[in-house]
Each structure stands twice: as structure tokens, then as C-alpha cells.
Amino acid sequence: MTNLLILIPVALGLGAIGLGAFIWSLKSGQFDDPDGDAARILLDDDDRPGS
């Protein structure tokens, strides 16, 4: 029972981190221009991340 008390919060916490990361990426516009991002990584002169 005690290991469950530790493991369940750990599992939930990990899941919540994933969920949070996804929602953050959505909010910060990382899905706004998937085609453009795919192309930009190949552009040599753009060495700074998009602002």
C-alpha cells in the first residue's frame, strides 16, 4: 500500500508534466506554422530561434 502511495502520485506527476508541456507548446505557438518550421530548420542563416 505504501509503495502505491508513492507510485501513483509519481505516475500522475509524470503524466501531468507531459500534459503541461503539450499545452505550453500549443500556447506558445509551436503548432501555428508546422510547414514553415520544417523548412526553417534547413535555412543556414537563421541561427537564432524565432522570436
Partner 1 sequence: MSCCGGNISADCAVQSTQAGDRQFLLAEELERSARQLPDGSSQMALSVPDIHCPACITTIEKSLSAIEGVANVRVNFTTRRVTVTVKPDADVALDIVRSLGASGYPATPLDLSADSAPARKESAELLKALAVAGFAAGNVMLLSVSVWSGADGATRDFFHLVSALIALPAVAYSGRPFYRSAWRALKARKVNMDVPITLGVLLATGMSLFETFMGEHHAWFDASLTLLFFLLIGRYLDHLMREKAGAAVSRLSRLAARGAAVVGADGRIAYTPIDEIEPGMRVSVALGERVPVDGVIADGASDFDRSVVTGESAPEALRQGSRVLAGDLNLTAPVVVEARVRGRETFLAEMVRMMEQAEESRARYRRIADRFAEAYAPAVHILAALTFLGWMAWTRGDWHLSVMTAVAVLIITCPCALGLAVPVVQVVGSGVLLEKGILVRSGSAFERMAEANCAVFDKTGTLTDGQPVLIDTNRIDLRTLSAAASLAAASRHPYSAAIMRAAESRGIDVTLAGGAREHPGHGVEAVVDGRRVRLGRPDWVAEIAATDGGSAGHGSVAFAIEGAPAASLAFRDRLRAGAVTTVGAMTASGFPVEILSGDRADVVHAVGDALGLADSAVHGRLLPEDKIAHVEALKATGRRPLMVGDGINDAPALAAAHVSMAPGSASDVGRTASDFVFLRPDLGAVAEARRVSQRVLSLVRQNFGLALAYNALAVPIAVFGYATPLIAAIAMSTSSMIVVLNALRLRLGERSRRNVVPAFEQQAPEPAE
What residue ranges bind partner 1 (CB under 8 A)? 1, 4, 8, 11-12, 15-16, 18-19, 22-23, 26, 32-36, 39-40, 42-43, 45-46, 50-51
Task: Give every CB contact of residue 31 below 8 A, 6+ residues apart in sequence.
Answer: 25
Nearest distance from C-beta of residue 5 to partner 1, angstroms: 9
Nearest distance from C-beta of residue 24 to partner 1, angstroms: 11
- Asked if 40 contacts 46 with a C-beta cutoff of 8 angstroms, the reply is yes
Closest CA to 29 of 5, 51, 6, 2: 51
Nearest distance from C-beta of residue 15 to partner 1, angstroms: 5
